[in-house]
Structure 1
Amino acid sequence: MAPLNAFTTVGQSPAQLGFVPKFRSHPIGTWSADGSGIVLSDVQQLSSIQQTIARISEGLAIVQSDRGIELFRAGQGSFGAAPDRVNCLPLLAYLPPLSLRNLGSSEFCDDYGIRVPYVTGSMANGIASVEIVQAIARAGMLGFFGAAGLSLAAIEVAIERLQTSLGDTPFGINLIHSPNEMGHERDTVELFLNRGIRLIEASAFLDLTLPVIRYRLAGIHRDSQGKIVTPNRILAKVSRIEVATKFLSPPPERFVRELLESRIITPEQAELAKQIPVAQDITVEADSGGHTDNRPAITLFPTIVALRDRMQPLYGSAFPLRIGLAGGIATPRSTSAAFAMGAAYVVTGSVNQACVESGSSDVVRAMLAQAEQADVIMAPAADMFEMGVKVQVLKRGSMFAMRGAKLYELYRTYPSIESIPESERLTLEKQLFRAPLEEIWQQTIAYFQQRDPAQVQRGLADPKHKMALVFRWYLGQSSRWANRGDATRKLDYQVWCGPAMGAFNEWAKGSFLEQPKQRDVVTVAWNLLFGAAIVARETQLRAAGLDLPAHYYPTHPQTLAELQPLVPEMSA
């Protein structure tokens, strides 16, 4: 592990950072030390103090001696006893060994065959790329491929690559709600079932749909011990209690009946459906990039946890309902806060887009690395444009949000493209589309003839819908321009991003992770988890009555080589 002195407060020497620690509670027992300890007030030992605290897999005793308050890694303790012999010191606090696996739910890790409760979310258009999923899976975590916005052919290519390269190593694929293209949602589920995809991340759902229920119930049965087995599992990303309620409930009877009448499921499977939740694991999506309701995690998460507690009796111990947290997970402190609130797992998103494995471009990664928390804004969503749904995007360096808002204003105001004033149409053709709108319509027809021909027929019959499809061309292309790094379209880049990106950049400032080329998803993941464990130790010490300065706790970015000796899970 590299010396940690360099990460003390900028501009101050260790001597200037010295202090006399005060213990604000009572001893909890005695400690018989093996060897000598480290005196907390000795600023010359700051690096040793940091390294000792960083050994999270080892217990740590805090004792009172003639030299002051000391840290001991070795010795024997006794709780509740008074010092009664030489070398037996008052024990002020004891920090047990910390396992990164136990920061969240070890049961979650067991169920999905992963080492630590860390998930990378499914950023659309392949931004959550095959390379991200491969790297995360091989590190013993859970990654989801960003299938939203891609054609069925592109999704199948990604599935083939992942299944070939990862074998039995767990991974998942995204299923995004497509209210305007229900045929595509249905066909995507059909593809998942045909290719044996056993885990999906369901996102942006406003209500349950038949394809989701079909996926969940496929193959449901009882094993030889009578236990209900559900081969297909869903992590449902939600930000509203009414949607969470539906996912935590058994499948709606109307969908089960329809599947039964269509002979897609058997009568026995229909009965078993009454005893399972649609999703056993719910990801609470707070203020995230992309689709979001901008809800604060500190209020939304406890709300969904309370819902979980009310609904758990429906399933007893057969299906423990677990709640994870996404949105704002970007630093050791936010990661630790999520686990402290009871998150079974954490999900990262925006920070992964800035990593070298993402399906985005180098120019976008550079833009994200400069982002601050206020550099985000809401803009119209391509997939739910007509409904007025918005996504959170990067504002700095792009005019996409403003131009997207202009398109939605025109859509709301006029019944057709032809009714838009000529001056407005010319501006659109010159600045946004860079082509006649009729030419864009022909491109749109060609696209939907392959993806969803019903959209073309509806557009030909309904001028308002035709206008929506043409405007959605711009909204959809803007993300692809960003992913390709099209320099001629930089002002039109749609980059999904939440305030987490600014928090990450502030934390990484002055370290090797400040540079986009140094950011990889595995290094980021282990840093967030390890840093969360260090913050947990800080919280434990404060609760025990001992406040230490922040620079005593090594939560700064570290390389994988530096973390390896400190994190047993990295070698598991």
Structure 2
Amino acid sequence: MTAVVARAVSDVRSVLLDLDSPCWIVTDSGGVGATSDPAMAANTRVLSAVGPLAPQSMGDSAFRRFHGVRYSYAAGAMANGIASPDMVIALARAGYLASYGAAGVIPIRIDAALNTIRQALGNTPFACNLIHSPTEPALEKAIVDACLRNAVTCIEASAFMDLTPQLVRYRVSGLALGRDGRVETRHRVVAKVSRAEVAEHFLRPAPAKLLRALLDSGDITADQAQWAEHIPMADDITAEADSGGHTDRRPLTVLLPDLIMLRDRLARERPGRTEVRIGAAGGIGTPQAVAAAFAMGAAYVVTGSINQSSVEADQSDTTKALLASSGVADCTMAPSSDMFELGVQVQVLRRGTMFAARAHRLYETYREYDGIESIPAVRRAELEKSIFARPLDDVWAGCVDYFTERDPGQLAGAERDPKRKMALIFRWYLGLSSGWSIRGESDRTADYQIWCGPAMGAFNSWVAGTHLAAPTNRRVADIAHHMMFGGAYATRVASLRSAGVRLPARAAHYVPEPQR
């Protein structure tokens, strides 16, 4: 405890940094200062005070108990394995919930990654991403199968517009009676959504039609089908605001309260049912953002973009350098690979790459023509030279090899529909561009697809001049520690500010320092 009243800015900051002790703002003959000593506070005039606030006490304690983690903090999945086994293992060991980025990864690699994580962590909790793949339903099945084989007890469901048979199969096949006779949800679902109408699907039980089909196929039991009628499809719903990758770019201050109110409204219709927790994602790149999310009622926070520049992320050093130099305005939207035909877009880094402009060019061509053979020779030559860097016939040959291994049904559809074939050819570029970024292919730097939200730029501004400025120092668990510690610090500062206390700028902001 501090034995004297701290008056210098650095000393006031030290008092506030002691999150395990209360902080009194006092005044005496020496002026205004801060102390964590109750005896000192008793002998002075107290202007304001804040209690202890440990980082592990922020957010919903039910989230921490349910998932078996120390912190109400999760690291969202980043596709193509960018959220790597190393990242998941490092965060899980430090007490955070982390999700493996299975989207876009071939099934054999998903199996290997989940096995690696399971062997390293034992029973320590972690999650695996299940991304909605409307044009590749076999991929959803492959991911669910891999999760079941590797005893993955939590999935992060993302980009879903409606419930699918494979998502329901995972959820319901994990229902079982506990020792106390109550139904347990042993397959946990954290749904990441950006629309209230999608959130409602997860707040309600699985549709009867899907349950009947799964029961008929033998994927679930009659008891499980009956229990599922009373269990919401998700345990937690993450309000995904302005994030990297799939996003509707909604402000968190609008989306989070909207989903909380929806949850509470539906809960009044079904009293007694398990309450689904609502978390916050998108724009979580600074401690102030963490504090703001919890202040708005988030049960937990989820980071994404800021983890992509970490040591454990499966990204090339070239890409990590681009991310570490980006600002909050250096992002833009581009057509997505997995939902190209639907016109769905993803948020990507604009600085240092031409990917977004070239991806838009491909989508414009797709909208304008009925097939590859319909594209005028001049336009086709331009695409082959400036985007594909090879003849489209060679690209199609690569598509055949790829889908023969991954999902042969795609090739059958392309044979029947020239426009479908064109979509697969264009998706070749969209799909490989993130791989070029991951591998750091020097001849394709201008084509890197780097999923990124403005949180990355905010994070870079916050850590400028600190040890976290260099990507080589960005250990993902260290990032999480400083985000949560700084969030607790910012919360204490905000409490004092609401009582009228105005702290000097150097004391009001948390600056990350290397952990001892």
Q: TM-score per shorter chain, which class?
A: over 0.9
Cross-structure match for 1:37: 4
What is the CA deviation profile of residues 352-410 of structure 1, one whole-angstrom value per residue up to 9, with x for unaligned ones? 11111101100000001111111111001000000000000011111110110010011
Cross-structure match for 1:56: 19
What is the one-letter code of the residue matched to 1:477? L
SS of corresponding position for 1:246 = helix
Cross-structure match for 1:485: 440
What is the one-letter code of the residue matched to 1:245? E
Kindly report which structure 2 residues correspond to 1:415-426, keeping only aligned pairs within 5 A, or say none. Answer: 415-426=370-381
Structure-2 change in CA distance of 1:262 and 1:331 (3 Å): same
Asked whether 1:211 is paired with 2:166, we answer yes
Once the 2 structures are TM-superposed, how far is the Cα of residue 63 of structure 1 from its aligned partner?
Answer: 2.7
Separation in structure 1 between the aligned mates of residue 119 and residue 338 of structure 2, nearest angstrom: 31
Cross-structure match for 1:268: 223
Asked whether 1:519 is paired with 2:470, we answer no
What is the CA deviation profile of residues 214-245 of structure 1, one whole-angstrom value per residue up to 9, with x for unaligned ones? 10001312223222101100100000000000
Asked whether 1:132 is paired with 2:84, we answer no
SS of corresponding position for 1:503 = helix
Asked whether 1:380 is paired with 2:343, we answer no
Separation in structure 2 between the aligned mates of residue 313 and residue 262 of structure 1, nearest angstrom: 35
Cross-structure match for 1:438: 393
Separation in structure 2 between the aligned mates of residue 48 and residue 332 of structure 1, nearest angstrom: 21
CA contact (8 A) 2:5 2:40 kept: no
Asked whether 1:299 is paired with 2:248, we answer no
Once the 2 structures are TM-superposed, how far is the Cα of residue 67 of structure 1 from its aligned partner?
Answer: 2.2
SS of corresponding position for 2:169 = helix
Structure 1: state its 5+ residue gaps. Answer: 1-33, 79-86, 562-572
Asked whether 1:371 is paired with 2:333, we answer no
CA contact (8 A) 2:118 2:150 kept: no
Separation in structure 1 between the aligned mates of residue 358 and residue 6 of structure 2, nearest angstrom: 60
Asked whether 1:74 is paired with 2:37, we answer yes
Identify which range, 505-514 or 243-252, moves more after superposition.
Answer: 505-514
What is the CA deviation profile of residues 432-474 of structure 1, one whole-angstrom value per residue up to 9, with x for unaligned ones? 1122111111110110011111100111111110000000000
Once the 2 structures are TM-superposed, how far is the Cα of residue 314 of structure 1 from its aligned partner?
Answer: 5.6
SS of corresponding position for 1:556 = coil
Kindly report which structure 2 residues correspond to 1:275-294, keeping only aligned pairs within 5 A, or say none. Answer: 275-294=230-249
Structure-2 change in CA distance of 1:253 and 1:77 (3 Å): farther
Once the 2 structures are TM-superposed, how far is the Cα of residue 546 of structure 1 from its aligned partner?
Answer: 1.5
Q: 1:541 aligns with which of 496, 502, 516?
A: 496
CA contact (8 A) 1:400 1:492 kept: yes
What is the one-letter code of the residue matched to 1:59? P
What is the CA deviation profile of residues 157-188 of structure 1, one whole-angstrom value per residue up to 9, with x for unaligned ones? 10110011111111111000000001221222
CA contact (8 A) 1:37 1:70 kept: no
Asked whether 1:226 is paired with 2:181, we answer yes
Cross-structure match for 2:360: 405
Cross-structure match for 2:201: 246
Q: TM-score, normalised by structure 1?
A: 0.88
What is the CA deviation profile of residues 37-78 of structure 1, one whole-angstrom value per residue up to 9, with x for unaligned ones? 3253xxxx3222111110011112223322223322222599
What is the CA deviation profile of residues 18-47 of structure 1, one whole-angstrom value per residue up to 9, with x for unaligned ones? xxxxxxxxxxxxxxxx9853253xxxx322
Structure-2 change in CA distance of 1:35 and 1:448 (3 Å): closer
CA contact (8 A) 1:39 1:67 kept: no
SS of corresponding position for 1:337 = helix
CA contact (8 A) 2:64 2:70 kept: yes
SS of corresponding position for 1:560 = coil
Q: Computing the radius of gyration over CA atoms, which structure comes out larger, 1 or 2? A: 1
What is the one-letter code of the residue matched to 1:38? V
CA contact (8 A) 1:64 1:92 kept: yes
Cross-structure match for 1:454: 409
Structure 2: state its 5+ residue gaps. Answer: none
What is the one-letter code of the residue matched to 1:538? V
What is the one-letter code of the residue matched to 1:419? S
Once the 2 structures are TM-superposed, how far is the Cα of residue 556 of structure 1 from its aligned partner?
Answer: 1.1
Separation in structure 1 between the aligned mates of residue 57 and residue 112 of structure 2, nearest angstrom: 36
Asked whether 1:167 is paired with 2:134, we answer no
Separation in structure 1 between the aligned mates of residue 255 and residue 28 of structure 2, nearest angstrom: 46
Cross-structure match for 2:9: 46
CA contact (8 A) 2:241 2:250 kept: yes
Separation in structure 2 between the aligned mates of residue 553 and residue 517 of structure 1, nearest angstrom: 28
Cross-structure match for 1:158: 113
Separation in structure 1 between the aligned mates of residue 151 and residue 45 of structure 2, nearest angstrom: 59
CA contact (8 A) 1:220 1:228 kept: yes
What is the CA deviation profile of residues 226-266 of structure 1, one whole-angstrom value per residue up to 9, with x for unaligned ones? 22101100100000000000011111111111112223222
What is the one-letter code of the residue matched to 2:27? Q
Cross-structure match for 1:24: none
Corresponding pairs, count: 516
Structure-2 change in CA distance of 1:328 and 1:244 (3 Å): same
CA contact (8 A) 1:508 1:514 kept: yes
CA contact (8 A) 1:373 1:503 kept: yes
Separation in structure 1 between the aligned mates of residue 26 and residue 271 of structure 2, nearest angstrom: 44
Asked whether 1:191 is paired with 2:146, we answer yes
SS of corresponding position for 1:347 = strand
CA contact (8 A) 1:241 1:304 kept: yes
CA contact (8 A) 2:437 2:448 kept: yes
Q: Which runs of 4+ in 1 moved over 6 A?
A: none
CA contact (8 A) 1:54 1:553 kept: no
Q: TM-score, normalised by structure 2?
A: 0.97
Identify which range, 313-322 or 334-343, moves more after superposition.
Answer: 313-322
Structure-2 change in CA distance of 1:543 and 1:127 (3 Å): same
**Percent identity for Structure 1 against Structure 2:** 46
What is the one-letter code of the residue matched to 2:23? L
RMSD of aligned Cα (Å)? 1.6
